[in-house]
Amino acid sequence: MAAEKKIKIIVAKPGLDGHDRGAKLLSRIFAESGMEVVYTGLRQTPEMIVETALQEDADVVGLSSLSGVHNYFFPKVVELLKAKGMEDVIVVGGGIIPLEDYDGLKKSGVKALFGPGTPTNEIVDFIKSNVRKS
């Protein structure tokens, strides 16, 4: 079997939110599942996140937000990725996100959202089965 290029994922914390337990945990779990992971750290603007995605030639951007700012940041990241010609980069999100916001976020181009309590293998499986599909 030919060695396939590893999936590359950027895990990012947009805004000023400091809750990074989930982001760090998932970074480790993504790495263990064979992905290449770049964790941005805290206080990222959408521009910084997209710049990292571009530099790293990412397949996936995972956004984590627990401070209620997902409706602003997530669509903004999708929009900037498009503007840079990176439509094929999958954007997924997680954190404290009310279910009623899911539809709007998905419409804006966020591929999937994972709330608290989601088994991590579910997230890994989703990413693996959705990357480079198009």
With CB under 8 A as the contact rule, the residue among 36, 51, 52, 68 that binds other proteins is 68
Q: Return the exposure string of 85-117: e unless at least 16 CB atoms fall within 10 Å of the residue's CB, then b.
A: ebeebbbbbbbebeeeebeebeeebbbbbbeee
Q: Is there binding between residue 121 and other proteins (CB under 8 A)?
A: yes
How far is residue 49's CA from residue 43's CA, in Å, rounded to a whole number? Answer: 10
CB 14 within 8 A of CB 65: yes
With CB under 8 A as the contact rule, the residue among 1, 3, 117, 134 that binds other proteins is 117
The window from 2-10, 16-24, 54-62, 85-93 that contacts other proteins (CB under 8 A) reads 16-24
Reported as type and span, the H/E element at residue 112 is: strand 112-114
Q: Is there binding between residue 18 and other proteins (CB under 8 A)?
A: yes
Query: Among residue numbers 71 through 110, which ones bind other proteins (CB under 8 A)?
Result: 71-73, 96, 98-100
DSSP class of residue 44 equals B
Q: For residues 39 and 92, which CB has a smaller minimum distance to other proteins in the complex?
A: 39
The window from 10-18, 54-62, 82-90, 126-134 that contacts other proteins (CB under 8 A) reads 10-18
Residues that bind other proteins (CB under 8 A): 15-21, 24-25, 27-29, 37, 39, 41-43, 45, 67-69, 71-73, 96, 98-100, 115-117, 119-121
